[in-house]
Amino acid sequence: MEKLRHYLSTLMQLPDEKDWRILLSCFSFRMLKKNDYLVRQGQVCDVVCYIEQGLMRTQTQKNGSEFTIDFFWAGMFCSESDSYINQAPCLMSIQAVQDSMVWCIQVSALREMYAMYPTFQNASRLVAEQFLIDVSRRMTSLIIDSAEERYLKLINEKKMLIEEIPLNILASYLGISTVYLSRIRKRLATRRT
């Protein structure tokens, strides 16, 4: 909970300890084991979660194939935004890629906190803005970058994650097959020698 408080304190300032206790009491702790789902495709997502430890992903399935949309790691918030905002069935699932500890807040509690603490609403806006920037960059990269360029960007930005993500999930995220990812990795290893 201290990591969550520290993160929120970088985005907002509350007047006293009592206000922090009220705000933090709205979050509930969940421990997810590797491959557990926070929410499944088709369900309604009614939480936003701060990842204290671990790695999560959004993924969807179609015609028996699985597609990884994005990753969320320690220090980030995750949710299925469309479902959360519109209270409609999820288009994606949120799944733990590794054992994860998360702090979740329900949509109803979040709205109450907005009313009580306008600075919390501003903090949420900052989190949402960063999420939009990340989504925009990912979409642009999928359109203009080759699979190898996307892989190299991921290595440069999140090298530690590359080592922890199973190859099939990583390939799905990059929009390529595991065979093609293996070829990219082999080609890059050859260049280094």
pLDDT, tens only, 72-86: 999 999 999 899 989
pLDDT of residue 6: 84
User: What distance in Å separates the CA atoms of residue 56 and residue 155, rounded to the nearest whole number?
Assistant: 18
Confidence of residue 2 (pLDDT cuts 50, 70, 90): confident
Task: Quote the CA–CA distance of 178 and 175 in Å, as a whole number.
Answer: 10
Residue 45: both structure tokens together: 């997502």
Structure tokens at 112: 């109450």
* Contacting residues for 107 by C-beta, under 8 A, at least 6 apart: 46, 47, 48, 84, 87
**33-65 tens-digit pLDDT:** 999 999 999 999 999 999 999 999 999 998 988
How far is residue 73 from each of residues 82, 123, 162, measured CA to CA in Å? 20, 19, 12
Mean pLDDT computed over 105-118:
90
Residues 6+ apart with CB under 8 A from 91: 41, 60, 80, 82, 83
Whether 12 has a pLDDT exceeding 90, the answer reads: no
Whether residue 29 has pLDDT greater than 80? yes
Contacts of 136 (CB under 8 A, 6+ apart): none
Average pLDDT, the chain: 91
> Given this model, what pLDDT does residue 192 score?
78
